[in-house]
Every structure is written in structure tokens, then in C-alpha cells.
Amino acid sequence: MSAETATVARDRHSILGQVPAWFWVGSGVYALLLLNGVRLLADSDTYWQISVGQWIFDHRALPTVDIYSFTRTGEPWLSSSWLAQVLYATAYDLAGWTGPVVLAAASVAGAFALLNHILGRRMPATHACVVTLAALVLSVQHLLARPHVLVMPVMIAWAYGLMSASERRVMPSLWLLPVIALWANLHGGFVFGLVLVGGFALDALWNAERSQRIATALRWAAFGIAALIACCATPYGWNSILASRKILDLGELLHLIYEWMPADFSHLSAFELAVLTLIGGALYGGVKLSPPRIALVLGLLHMALSHVRNTEIFALLLPIVVLTPVTAQFSLQPGKLVKLKPVVALVLVGLLGAWTSVLAASQPIAPPQVQSPAAAVDALMARNPKRIFNDLPFGGYLIWRQIPVFIDGRAELYGEKFEMDYFRAVQLKDVDGLLDMLKRHDIDAVILTPATPAVKLLDHIGGWQRIYADESAVVHVRVAN
């Protein structure tokens, strides 16, 4: 090797050596999500989330009643994710659909970079990267341009702050209160953050000396009360907490909404494989946890088993909960910690920004057609309908088109009975209920997905005519008998 070649190789190594593993992880996740940007838009709820954010901008106020449906017009409804909706609306106004995709991708990348950074402080970089990759695989199905992904880095920072305080046997830093307040304005899941306070408070009591347990309990109780007050630092105040609980009161309906369904172990999935691997590894390695940590692990597992949407919470927080006892038990040591210099960070971020711009220009991003039945809605609106009975997946797009909807993704607004009656009707489990629903609400047009059973009924009964159909939607209008 010549001296010149050796110098180039050494310079390249020195440059790469200035970049910590967490930055490479975050950059990789960001690039992966941006290259598959359409995947982040594969949910019609993104439409109405942005619409709400735009309404907040236009009216300089927050909604307190429903203004998007004709079935619940004027009913109380609070937008517990108002800040996330404003951020998505701003991103859309700045860069079209590329904006929300970049915002969501950057937030997810930040979450996994933060997780990798936390793990890398206690274990070798290779181990930290493997655990982070496993968490990404488990979370990927629920990575969508919706408010919950903006909360992911906030949730990790909150949980890590609580864990650190518990292990140091001190009250959590008051700097964590703005974190939970931010969470409360971004997404209704902040209630789970309050639950974590209780879990780590028990862990702190377990770690404390017997003579210090009363004082420790009082300090953590004071912090819990402060955190509860911080959660009320939203435009809705205390009502934010009440509104966030409504989704859990939907009973049987939760079993019909995919992301609220329980985990399905009828076929091997990444989640089942991960759970079995963890159980096998714990049994083989003899992993020992304190009772409070065991309770936290079982609580996270119960949440993931109860609702599919909680899988990413399990994936992101489980490594943090077991981090200290596992690394101590197996004597894992972190590698050399590399600090990212500001100049290097600016250069790398600039390169990512330039690559984002080039990619956005060469690869237009838009929601998939299955969520955006533009042609079907155009054909429908040409008939000037007064009231449209829509399939649930089309609710967000209709709101985007400023068309009053029969139903959309805000399940907490419509309630268990209304939505259960709706599902039974469109699935033809209650044909009389469907006909009564169409008559009672004075429906003169229907737009459903081709696979919805009610489509065939409308094709064969009097008073209805099919006027449009494609691979995404079928449109019927009422006609005179």
C-alpha cells in the first residue's frame, strides 16, 4: 500500500470515527422510511388529522364540537392531538405530501436513534444495534404519518428519565414535566406516561434503603401530582385527560378495529417470535429482575397482547426497563463513546437534507389510491348528493374533500353502539338495520369498498343504482322506484 493510499484510508477512518452509532442508526431508519414514503401514508386518518390542523390555523381556535360529520354534528369532541395535527398541517403546507412523510420519518428516526444511544451507554455498540433493529422490526407495521409517531422520542425520553431517577434513588428531574406536557399536547396516550410514574416509583421504593422509603415515596408522589398537573397544560385543561380515556370505553368495538385488536398467534409473526425468543433467552440465561421490573415487563407485554397498536410501546420500552439489570448480570460493557462534533453534525444533516430534496423531486409522494377514491368521489359529487353513507376507510378522504361524513376514524366520537350497528349493517349481519339506517338518515348516495357485503345488496334491491365502480370504490345513488 502506498503512503498516499494509507493516508486516504486513515482520513476516511477518522471521519467515520467521529460519527456515533446512534447517528448511523437514525440516518438508516430515516432513509428507509423516506424511500418507502407511501407506506407512511397508508392510513386514511392522515387526511383528517391534517384537515383538523388546517382548521385550527384558519380559525385560530381548537375544535370543541364535531364539525365534520352529519351524524354527530355539534356533539362534544376534543382534538387531543391538536399540536401534532398543526405540525402535520404545517408540513403539508410547506412541501405537500412530502412534508408529513419527512416529519413522521424524522420523528421515528429520532426515536430509534435515541433508543440506540441509551442502550449504547450500557452495552457494546453491536448489541445496542441488534436490539434497536429488533425494536424497529416489531414497530414497522404501525409506523404511519399520524400523531402517535411524533410522540415516540418523547415517550422514550420520559421513560428513560424515570428509570434513571429510580436507579439513583432520587425524585425525577422537574425538567421531565415539560416532556409530559408536550406529550399531552401531541397525543392522548400521555395517560400511559402517568402510569409509568407509578411503575418506576415502586421500583424506586424497592431500591431505596428501608429508612429512606417514606421520604422516597413522598418525593415520587409529589412528582406524580406535578406530572398530573403538567398533563393539564393543554388548551383543553383537565378535559384532555377525560377525552383520552374515551377510546378505552368502546368495549366490543375495539375487537373490530385492527389496531385495537388483540395479538393473533394463530400464525407465526415477528411479535410472537420475539416473545418466544425473549422467554427462551431469559430461561437459558437465568435473567433476574426485581419484582417492580417484572411488573413493568408483564405490564408492557399485557398491553402488546391486548392491542396490536401497543406492540411498538413494548418494543421501545422493554429494552429500557431491563437495561440495567441485564447489563449488570451479564457484565456487558459499553464500547468507546463517540461524541458528534457540531461541525460534523451540521455537515451530515445538510447532506441528509439535500438527499431528501433530491428524492422528493424525483419520487412524488402521495397517499395510495385505496385510501383516496378521487374518481369515485368526483362521480358522486356530480350528482349533488345531500347525505352520503360512506365506508369507514373513506371517512378521512371525504373530510379532506370537505364533504360531511357518515362515519370516520374518530371512534370515540361515534361511540360503541353507533359503530357496532354500522359494522353489522355494512357486513349484512343486520340487513334490516342497514335499510333502516339509510332511511333514517335520509341517505341519497353510498360509497363503499368493493369487498363490503352491502355493495351486492344495493346492486339487487330497488331504489338504488350503481353509477361508478373501480378497484377502490363502488358508488350507488338513490333513484325513484
Residue (of 187, 186, 165, 189) closest to 176 by Cα position: 165
Residue 9 cell numbers, joined? 484510508
Query: How many Cα atoms sit within 13 Å of 16 on the Cβ side?
Result: 7
Relative to beta strand 464-469, strand 445-448 is unpaired
Q: Which three cell numbers stand for residue 148?
A: 402517535
The pLDDT, as a whole number, for residue 6 is: 43
DSSP state string for 17-85 = HTS-HHHHHHHHHHHHHHHTHHHHT--THHHHHHHHHHHHHHHTS---B--SBSSSTT-B---TTHHHH
Q: Tell me the sheet residues that pair with 65.
A: 76
User: What DSSP designation does 469 have?
Assistant: E
Contact partners, residue 119, CB within 8 Å, separation at least 6: 127, 128, 131, 132, 319, 323
Question: Can you read off the three cell numbers belonging to residue 183?
Answer: 406529550
Please give the helix or strand (H or E) that residue 446 lies within, else none: strand 445-448
List the chain pLDDT tens, one digit each, 481 residues.
444 444 444 444 445 567 888 899 999 999 999 998 899 999 999 999 999 999 999 999 999 999 999 999 999 999 999 999 999 999 999 999 999 999 999 999 999 999 999 999 999 999 999 999 999 999 998 899 999 999 999 999 999 999 999 999 899 999 999 999 999 999 989 999 999 999 999 999 998 888 888 999 999 999 999 999 999 999 999 888 877 766 666 667 667 777 777 888 888 889 999 999 999 999 999 999 999 999 999 999 999 998 888 999 999 999 999 999 999 999 888 877 777 777 777 888 888 888 888 877 777 888 988 889 999 999 999 999 999 999 999 999 999 999 999 999 998 899 889 999 999 999 999 999 999 999 999 999 999 999 999 999 999 998 999 999 999 999 999 987 6
Say what the pTM is. Answer: 0.91
Q: Which residue has the cell 385488536?
A: 261
Q: From residue 365, how far is each of 33, 77, 362 by CA, in Å?
A: 12, 31, 10
Residue that is written with C-alpha cell 397498536 in the block: 309
- Distances 203 to 214, 296, 380 between C-alpha atoms, Å: 14, 9, 59
Question: What's the confidence (pLDDT) of residue 2?
Answer: 47
DSSP 362-393: HS-----GGG--HHHHHHHHTT--S-EEE-GG
